[in-house]
C-alpha cells in the first residue's frame, strides 16, 4: 500500500495519520518550510525543522503548537518514521522522509540543488517514491552559477550609484531577501523593509549568521538609500514610497527573468534570473539521485516534466496540489507583507 | 557583438522613449562604425539575406541537445521566440569570442551557397563561442526580425542627437537606397548617397476641433468646406525628378505606397502636395481598418496590394514651380491645384472635393451623411488662410460627427504613467456575450482627476486577481465608451475591434446588467460593413 495519498486537504499518510503541507486545517501537519502556500493557519499540531518554528510562529501565530526536528533526526508517529533532510530552498526548508515497514517516501516540498550560501545544502535521499515540484521543469530553465548572477547584480548596483539612481531589489521577504543579503553584503550598505527586518531578527535569534542590514525607518534619508541597496517585498513594488525615492530603478530577482517575454511583462528596470527552485538540470539530478521507482510531480510544468520522466523510464504521475498557486511564491504577494505595507502607509499618513 | 547585445538588452528593458534614445545615442557614440551601419540596417528592416532556414537551426539544436521534439515545442510555447528558445536550450559555450557584429554578418553572408554540412559546422561552432544573449542575437540575425520597439523616427532622433545633424535629412538618408556592405557610417548619415535637398518636407498645418456652433463663424461664403477623411495625413514632394512621400509622423513612407509612384512622371518638378492617404477602390474611400493592413509594413506583397489598394486625396499645395506657396491665401492655392489636376484623370490621386452649400443648415444636414462615405465629418478652412506651421486657432476647424458609443463594464485596471503613475487609470472594458463578459476595448483618458481617484479606490477595494501591474476587478462600474469606427479583427477575442476608443462618461446610473451586448456591436459592424 502506498505511503501517501493526495486528498482534498493535502498530502496524507494514512498509516501515520498525518498530513504534509495541508491546505485545509488538520490535526497534525508536517511542514516542509515557512512559505505561505506550504504552511497555513488552523492545524492542531505542526512538525517542522527547528529553524522554521520561530518563522511560522512569527508569520502565523505565537500560539501554534509546534514540534521540531533537526536535519537527520526522526520521530515515529503511529509506526511511521518521520525524518528531515535539507531541501536547500530557504532557511529551515526540509525534505520529509517517511518510512514504514521498509517502504520509503520523500516529500521534497520546494527545493534547489545549488548551494545558496545560507540554506543547508540539498541532500539527495534514497527512496521508493519521491514527490517533486516542477516550477521550472522545462529545459530552457538552466541557471547560471549564482556567483555570476550576483556579480551582475553588484555591477548593476555600482552603475546605479554612480548615475545617482537608487537600486531597489524586489525580493520575497522570507528566503530570497536573506539570500540577497548574505551574498551582496560587503561594500555597499543594505537597507531593508520592515517585514524583511522583522524576519531577519527572528532568523538571527535562531542562530543563523546573517550579515548586518539597516531597517528602513521614516528617518532614513533618500540620499542614504541612493548610496546603498534597498530590498523590499513584492507588495511594495508599485508603491508611492518607491516612486518618491531619488531616481529609483527596480530589479526583480526571479527564475522567470530567464525569459525575455517574462522580463518585459514585469516592466521592471532589470531582471536577474535567480531562483530558489531547482532548474531543469537540478530537478533531473535530484530525481536520479533518489533512485525512486515512482515520482509524483506537483506544481509547475507538471505535464511536460512528468511526460519526460516517463519517456526516460522513470514512472511518473502528475498530481494537483495547491502549492505554487497564482504563479510562484517568487512573485506572489505575501499576506504578511501586505499587512506590514499597510501599517507603513498608515504611518506615512500620520507623519 | 557584446556591445550590440548590451544595446538590445537596454532597449528591451525600458518602455520609455527617452531611455531608448539615450541607449541608442550611447551606442552610436561608442560602437564600431561598421557595426553602426548594420544596426541601422537591421532596425530599418534592411535584413541581410537568410543563408540558413530557421527549421534547420531548430533541428541542429534538437540534435546537439538531444531534446525530444515535443519538449522543444513545449519550451518554445513558454518562451515565445524560436531564436531565444534555441539560445536557452543549448549547453553553456565552452569558448568566448570578441568578433564584432559586422564580422558575424559577413561570415554568415559567406555561407551563401555552401552545403548544409558546412553551414552546420559553422553554426555549431558559433553557438559554442557565444553567451546566451549573444546567441539569441546571432540566431535573430539568421532567422528573424528584431521587434524591440524602435521606430524609424526614434532611430533618426537618436542619430540626430548624436551627430547634431537635421533629423529630416537623416530620415531621408537612411530611408534612401544604400548598401550596408559598401557605405560608411559617415557617408550614410550625411546622405552623400542621396540628395537630401530634394526631399525636405514642410511642417503640416493642423486644425482645432470646432467647439462652438458653426453659425458663430458667421459667413459661410468666407469658408471652404471639405470632407474630413479618415486616413493618414501625407505630404508628396516632387523635386528634381525624385518623388518622396512623408507621413504626419515625419517618416518617409515612399516605398510603402507604390500606387503613388506614377506621380514621378505626372507631377512637374518643384511641387509639394498635402493630402490624405486612404484605402481607395473605384474612387470610393474604404474604411480605416482596410488602410491599416497597409501601414507600418517594411515590405508589401501582391496580396496586400490587391486587398487594400490605396490612393491619395489632395487637400492643398505648399510648393509650386519650386516656390513656397504657403503664404498665399487658400483660395489662390486651391485655384492652382484645380488647374494642376484639370487634365489629370487618375483613380489613385484625386483632388479632395469642395462641398458647396447655400447655408449652415444645409451643411449640417450633409455632415450627418459623413459616415456613409467613410468620412469623419467636415473641415472648415478660411479662404483667406495661409498654410500655417502646426496648430493655430481660427483659420482651420475640424467639425467632426459625433462618435459611436457603447456602454461597457470595467474588468481590468492598470496603473498609468507619469503624473498618474500612482493611480489606476488604464482600464479594459467588456460587453456582455450571453452569460460571459468579453473584452472590447482599452481606454486611458476621459475622466476627471476626481473621478480617477474614485475609480482608483474602487479598484483597490475590489481587485480580484493581480497579474503584475494589472488588476482584475469586480465587473461593476459602467462607462460610456465613444469610438470612431468598428472593424472585424481576428486578434481580438470579441472578433471585432473599436477604433480610437475613449471614455465619454462614467454611467453611475447604470448597472452592469444594463450594458450593451456583443450582438449590438456585431449589428453595428454589419451596418457599417455595407457602407464600407
Domain boundary residue, one of B143, B167, B190: B143
Domain boundary residue, one of B356, B378, B400: B400
**pLDDT at residue B528, as a whole number:** 63
Whether residue B391 sits in one domain with residue B408: no
Whether residue B523 sits in one domain with residue B447: yes
Interface mutation vs chain A, best among B81, B466, B469, B472, most A CBs within 10 Å: B466
Which positions of B are annotated as active-site residues?
228
Whether residue B215 sits in one domain with residue B129: no
Write the residue in B84, B136, B469 that is nearest to A238 by C-beta: B469
Q: Which domains does chain A have, with CATH numbers?
A: 5-140+276-320 (3.60.15.10), 146-274+338-350 (3.40.50)
Identify whether B231 is part of a domain: yes
Is A140 within 8 Å of B78 when comparing Cβ atoms? yes
Identify whether B190 is part of a domain: no
Domain boundary residue, one of B400, B430, B461: B400
Identify whether B164 is part of a domain: no
A-chain residues near B89 (CB < 8 A): 139-140
Is A260 within 8 Å of B422 when comparing Cβ atoms? no
Cell numbers for A40: 497555513
Task: Report the complex ipTM.
Answer: 0.89
Write the residue in B70, B71, B84 that is nearest to A260 by C-beta: B84
pLDDT, tens digit, for every residue of B351-396?
999 999 989 989 989 998 888 888 989 999 999 999 988 878 889 9
A119/chain B closest Cα distance in angstroms: 26
Average pLDDT, consecutive stretches of 10 residues, N- to C-terminus, chain B (532 residues):
90 81 95 94 82 92 95 88 94 92 92 93 96 93 77 90 88 82 91 81 87 82 93 94 88 91 93 96 87 82 91 96 94 95 84 92 89 89 91 88 88 73 83 91 80 85 75 91 85 86 86 89 73 40
Q: What is the CATH number of the domain that holds B351?
A: 3.30.470.30
Whether residue B210 sits in one domain with residue B101: no
Domain of B453, in residue numbers: 404-531
3-state secondary structure chain A: CCCCEECCCCEEECCCCEEECCCCCCCEEECCCCCCCCCCCCCCEEEEECCHHHHHHHHCCCCCCEEEECECCEEEECCEEEEEEECCCCCCCEEEEEEECCEEEEECCCCCCCCCCCCCCCCCCCCCEEEEEECCCCCCCCCCCHHHHHHHHHHHHHHHHHCCCEEEEECCCCCHHHHHHHHHCCCCCEEECHHHHHHHHHHHHCCCCCCCCEECCCCCCHHHHHCCEEEECHHHCCCHHHHCCCCEEEEEECHHHHCHHHHHHHCCCEEECCCCCCCHHHHHHHHHHHCCCEEEEEEECHHHHHHHHHHCCCEEEECCCCCCCCCCCCCCCCHHHHHHHHHHHHHHHHC
Identify whether B112 is part of a domain: yes
Is B67 within 8 Å of A259 when comparing Cβ atoms? no
Whether residue B454 sits in one domain with residue B372: no
Identify whether B312 is part of a domain: yes
Interface mutation vs chain A, best among B8, B13, B15, B132, most A CBs within 10 Å: B13
Q: What is the CATH number of the domain that holds B453?
A: 2.40.50.140
Is B79 within 8 Å of A243 when comparing Cβ atoms? no
Is B65 within 8 Å of A308 when comparing Cβ atoms? no
> pTM, whole model, 2 decimals?
0.71
Whether residue B260 sits in one domain with residue B297: yes
Whether residue B223 sits in one domain with residue B286: yes
pLDDT, tens digit, for every residue of B109-129?
999 889 999 999 999 999 999
Whether residue B132 sits in one domain with residue B247: no
Whether residue B241 sits in one domain with residue B320: yes
Identify whether B346 is part of a domain: yes
Starting at the edge strand that comes first in sequence, how are the strands of the sheet with A18-20 ordered?
A5-6, A11-13, A18-20, A28-30, A45-49, A66-69
B42/chain A closest Cα distance in angstroms: 20
**pLDDT at residue B419, as a whole number:** 55
A260 at interface of B, judged by CB pairs closer than 8 A: yes
Whether residue B448 sits in one domain with residue B382: no
**pLDDT at residue A265, as a whole number:** 67
Candidate from A86-100, A208-222, B192-206, B227-241 with smallest mean pLDDT? B192-206
pLDDT, tens digit, for every residue of A30-44?
999 999 889 999 999
Whether residue B116 sits in one domain with residue B218: no
b/e B264-285 (16+ beta carbons within 10 angstroms → b)? eeebeeebbbbbbbbbbeeeeb
**Chain B residues contacting A, CB < 8 Å?**
12-15, 65, 67-68, 70-71, 74-75, 78-81, 84-85, 88-89, 136, 415, 421-422, 465-466, 468-469
Count of structural domains within chain B: 3
Chain A's closest residue to B71, CA to CA, is A304
Identify whether B178 is part of a domain: no
Q: What is the CATH number of the domain that holds B118?
A: 1.10.3260.10
Whether residue B96 sits in one domain with residue B55: yes
Amino acid at each position: 500500500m502506498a505511503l501517501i495519498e493526495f486528498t482534498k486537504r493535502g498530502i496524507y499518510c494514512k498509516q501515520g495519520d498525518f498530513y504534509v503541507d495541508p491546505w485545509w486545517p488538520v490535526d497534525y501537519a508536517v511542514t516542509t518550510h515557512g512559505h505561505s502556500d506550504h504552511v497555513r493557519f488552523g492545524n492542531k499540531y505542526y512538525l517542522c525543522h527547528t529553524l522554521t518554528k520561530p518563522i511560522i510562529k512569527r508569520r502565523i501565530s505565537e500560539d501554534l503548537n509546534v514540534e521540531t526536528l533537526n536535519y537527520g533526526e526522526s520521530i515515529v508517529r503511529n509506526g511511521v518514521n518521520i525524518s528531515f533532510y535539507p531541501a536547500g530552498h530557504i532557511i529551515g526548508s526540509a525534505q520529509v522522509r517517511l518510512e514504514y515497514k521498509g517502504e520509503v517516501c520523500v516529500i521534497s516540498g520546494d527545493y534547489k540543488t545549488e548551494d545558496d550560501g545560507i540554506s543547508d545544502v540539498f541532500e539527495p535521499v534514497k527512496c521508493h517514491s519521491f514527490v517533486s515540484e516542477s516550477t521550472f521543469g522545462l529545459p530552457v530553465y538552466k541557471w547560471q552559477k549564482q556567483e555570476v548572477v550576483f556579480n551582475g547584480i553588484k555591477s548593476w548596483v555600482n552603475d546605479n550609484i554612480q548615475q545617482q539612481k537608487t537600486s531597489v531589489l524586489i525580493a520575497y521577504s522570507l528566503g530570497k531577501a536573506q539570500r540577497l543579503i548574505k551574498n551582496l553584503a560587503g561594500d555597499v550598505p543594505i537597507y531593508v523593509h520592515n517585514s524583511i527586518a522583522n524576519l531577519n531578527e527572528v532568523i538571527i535569534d535562531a542562530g543563523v549568521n546573517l550579515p548586518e542590514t539597516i531597517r528602513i525607518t521614516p528617518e532614513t534619508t533618500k540620499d542614504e538609500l541612493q548610496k546603498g541597496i534597498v530590498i523590499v517585498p513584492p507588495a511594495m513594488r508599485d508603491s508611492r514610497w518607491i516612486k518618491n525615492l531619488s531616481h529609483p530603478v527596480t530589479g526583480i530577482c526571479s527564475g522567470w527573468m530567464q525569459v525575455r517575454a517574462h522580463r518585459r511583462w514585469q516592466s521592471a528596470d532589470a531582471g536577474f534570473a535567480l531562483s530558489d527552485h531547482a532548474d531543469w538540470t537540478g530537478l533531473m539530478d535530484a530525481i536520479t539521485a533518489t533512485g525512486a521507482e515512482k515520482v509524483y510531480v506537483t506544481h509547475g510544468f507538471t505535464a511536460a516534466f512528468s511526460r519526460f520522466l516517463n519517456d526516460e523510464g522513470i514512472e511518473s504521475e502528475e498530481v494537483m496540489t495547491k502549492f505554487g498557486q497564482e504563479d510562484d511564491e517568487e512573485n506572489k504577494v505575501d499576506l504578511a507583507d501586505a499587512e506590514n505595507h499597510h501599517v507603513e502607509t498608515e504611518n506615512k499618513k500620520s507623519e | 557583438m557584446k556591445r550590440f547585445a548590451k544595446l538590445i538588452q537596454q532597449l528591451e528593458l525600458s518602455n520609455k522613449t527617452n531611455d531608448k534614445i539615450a541607449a541608442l545615442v550611447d551606442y552610436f557614440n561608442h560602437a564600431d562604425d561598421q557595426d553602426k551601419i548594420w544596426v541601422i540596417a537591421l532596425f530599418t528592416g534592411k535584413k541581410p539575406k537568410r543563408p540558413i532556414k530557421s527549421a534547420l537551426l531548430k533541428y541542429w539544436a534538437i540534435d546537439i541537445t538531444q531534446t525530444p521534439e515535443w519538449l522543444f515545442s513545449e519550451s518554445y510555447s513558454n518562451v515565445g521566440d524560436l531564436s531565444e528558445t534555441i539560445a536557452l536550450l543549448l549547453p553553456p559555450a565552452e569558448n568566448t569570442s570578441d568578433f564584432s557584429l559586422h564580422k558575424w554578418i559577413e561570415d554568415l553572408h559567406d555561407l551563401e551557397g555552401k552545403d548544409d554540412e558546412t553551414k552546420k559546422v559553422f553554426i555549431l561552432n558559433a553557438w559554442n563561442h557565444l553567451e546566451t544573449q549573444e546567441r539569441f542575437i546571432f540566431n535573430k540575425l539568421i532567422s528573424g526580425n528584431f521587434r524591440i520597439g524602435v521606430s524609424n523616427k526614434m532611430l533618426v532622433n537618436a542619430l540626430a542627437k548624436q551627430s547634431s545633424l537635421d533629423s529630416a535629412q537623416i530620415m531621408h538618408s537612411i530611408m534612401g537606397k544604400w548598401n550596408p556592405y559598401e557605405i560608411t557610417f559617415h557617408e550614410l548619415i550625411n546622405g552623400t548617397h542621396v540628395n537630401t535637398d530634394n526631399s525636405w518636407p514642410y511642417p503640416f498645418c493642423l486644425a482645432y476641433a470646432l467647439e462652438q456652433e458653426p453659425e458663430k463663424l458667421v459667413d459661410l461664403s468666407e469658408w471652404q468646406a471639405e470632407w474630413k477623411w479618415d486616413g493618414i495625413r501625407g505630404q508628396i514632394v516632387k523635386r528634381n525628378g525624385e518623388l518622396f512621400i512623408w507621413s504626419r509622423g515625419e517618416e518617409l513612407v515612399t516605398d510603402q505606397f507604390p500606387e503613388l509612384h506614377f506621380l514621378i512622371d505626372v507631377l512637374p518638378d518643384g511641387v509639394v502636395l498635402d493630402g490624405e492617404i486612404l484605402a481607395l477602390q473605384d474612387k470610393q474611400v474604404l474604411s480605416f481598418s482596410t488602410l491599416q493592413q497597409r501601414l507600418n509594413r517594411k515590405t508589401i506583397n501582391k496580396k496586400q496590394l490587391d486587398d487594400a489598394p490605396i490612393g491619395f486625396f489632395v487637400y492643398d499645395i505648399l510648393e509650386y514651380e519650386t516656390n513656397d506657396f504657403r503664404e498665399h491665401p487658400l483660395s489662390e492655392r486651391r485655384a492652382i491645384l484645380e488647374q494642376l489636376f484639370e487634365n489629370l484623370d487618375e483613380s489613385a490621386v484625386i483632388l479632395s472635393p469642395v462641398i458647396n452649400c447655400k447655408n449652415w443648415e444645409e451643411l449640417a444636414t450633409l455632415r450627418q451623411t459623413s459616415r456613409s462615405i467613410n468620412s469623419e465629418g467636415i473641415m472648415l478652412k478660411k479662404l483667406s488662410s495661409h498654410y500655417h506651421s502646426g496648430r493655430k486657432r481660427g483659420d482651420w476647424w475640424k467639425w467632426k460627427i459625433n462618435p459611436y458609443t457603447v456602454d461597457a463594464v470595467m474588468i481590468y485596471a492598470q496603473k498609468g504613467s507619469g503624473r498618474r503613475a500612482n493611480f489606476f487609470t488604464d482600464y479594459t472594458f467588456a460587453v456582455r456575450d450571453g452569460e460571459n463578459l468579453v473584452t472590447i476595448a482599452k481606454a486611458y483618458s476621459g475622466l476627471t482627476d476626481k473621478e480617477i481617484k474614485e475609480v482608483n479606490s474602487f479598484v483597490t477595494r475590489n481587485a480580484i486577481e493581480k497579474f503584475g501591474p494589472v488588476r482584475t476587478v469586480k465587473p461593476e462600474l459602467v462607462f460610456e465608451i465613444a469610438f470612431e469606427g468598428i472593424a472585424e479583427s481576428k486578434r481580438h477575442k470579441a472578433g471585432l475591434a473599436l477604433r480610437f476608443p475613449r471614455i465619454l462618461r462614467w454611467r453611475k446610473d447604470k448597472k452592469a446588467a444594463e450594458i450593451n451586448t456583443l450582438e449590438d456591436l456585431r449589428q453595428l459592424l454589419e451596418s457599417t460593413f455595407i457602407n464600407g
